[in-house]
Structure 1
Amino acid sequence: MAFATASTGAARAEDVPSRPTMWYWHNWADHHGISHMTKCPLRDFDLKTMSAPAGPQWQDRLKSGPAQVIFTVQPAHWNGVWHPDPKVQWIIPLKGAWYVTAMDGHKVVMGPGEVSLGEDQLSRRDAQGHVGHDAGNVGDAPVELMVVQVGEAPTVDQPCRFK
């Protein structure tokens, strides 16, 4: 795809920035019902405008369809105990630090700008009574999150299913 220079409007191959990679954490369940946290790449970016005449920007459109956006403020020292995500949802910390611990014991701490995909709805209670994930705040301040719930059916054994 061509990338126009500001001064001439002409495109040169050496002016095209390289395709970016972004990362997200995927909390998914395997066929045994155990949840896991896997770091996943997003690489399928196209350089195009979102709305002409705005300049081109890298975009990776994962899925289209209905979504609900929820902003949450978790009080200081909030803990969600063990629970599955209510829906397949993207979670983006905006302020503060937040953690997710999967049933396999993998704990990930995320701060502002990091992204998590919650998809552990098909996890099953283990011998310790754990199901889904444990989540909570890190530190002594509230944590602000943006949650985008999507109309996707949860899957099993598909870590990094959005690429």
Structure 2
Amino acid sequence: MTRLLPLAAALLVVTAFGAAHAADPTPPTAWYWHNWTDHDGISHMTRCPFHNYDLKTMSKPAGPQWQDHVHEGNARIISTVQPAHWDGSWHPDPKVQWIIPLKGSWYVTAMDGKKVVMGPGDVSLGEDQMSRKDAKGHIGHFAGNIGDGPVTLMVIQTDEQPTTDQPCRFH
């Protein structure tokens, strides 16, 4: 019921401003990859939905848009450019962080062997800080670039505490 009130209010705003067409009242679903750790210290990559959207304006008089407030709190925003053929080796993420490729493609391989290739438009949540070295000495994830050019990423490091056994916890 609480989601219906903001949605109804947002639709009224669209109507009040005389929009030629009303926004689709069906909330969208977008996706992200979650690099999470299980209770045995093994990292995994799981495709997860963003789907707790409310239709509202971010700043009046801008029209309403679908918003899913994933994190509230402190964050550090880092733009990084990885040189061509960058090799991330095995490592855990330094913080719970959102990683968004802006240019080029890169991959993340979890300790369970799942490899995900991501490019512009993809989103990844790195949360493998609780991983532990396995018999091969692997910990966290292995990352690297695809192709012969650099890869530009936007990294948003949060103040979230890392968890275990909580794939898709931000949905």
Q: Where on the TM-score scale, by shorter chain, does this alignment land: which range?
A: over 0.9
Q: Which amino acid aligns with 2:127?
A: E
2:156 alignment partner, SS class: strand
Question: Which 5+ residue runs of structure 1 have no aligned equivalent?
Answer: none
Deviation at 1:113, TM superposition (A): 1.2
Q: Partner residue of 2:91? A: 83
Deviation track 1:7-34 (CA, whole Å, cap 9, x = no partner) reads: 7369x9xx34111000000000000000
Residue type of the alignment partner of 2:168: C
SS in structure 2 at match of 1:92: strand
The CA distance in 1 between the partners of 2:132 and 2:117, in whole Å, is 23
The normalised TM-score by structure 1 is 0.94
- The 2-side partners of 1:7 and 1:129 are apart by 60
Picking from 114, 121, 130, the partner of 1:113 is 121
Matched, 1:74 2:82: yes
Deviations 1:19-55 (A, max 9, x none): 1000000000000000000000010000000011111
Q: Tell me the number of residue pairs that the alignment of Structure 1 and Structure 2 aligns.
A: 160
* Unmatched tracts of structure 2, length 5 or more: 1-6
Moved over 4 A (4+): none
What is the root-mean-square deviation of aligned Cα atoms in Å?
1.6
AA at the equivalent of 2:41: G
CA displacement at 1:139 relative to structure 2: 0.3
2:133 aligned residue: 125
Query: Would you tell me which structure has more helix in proportion to its own residues?
Result: 2
Q: Distance in 2 between matches of 1:113 and 1:62?
A: 17
TM-score by length of structure 2 reads 0.90
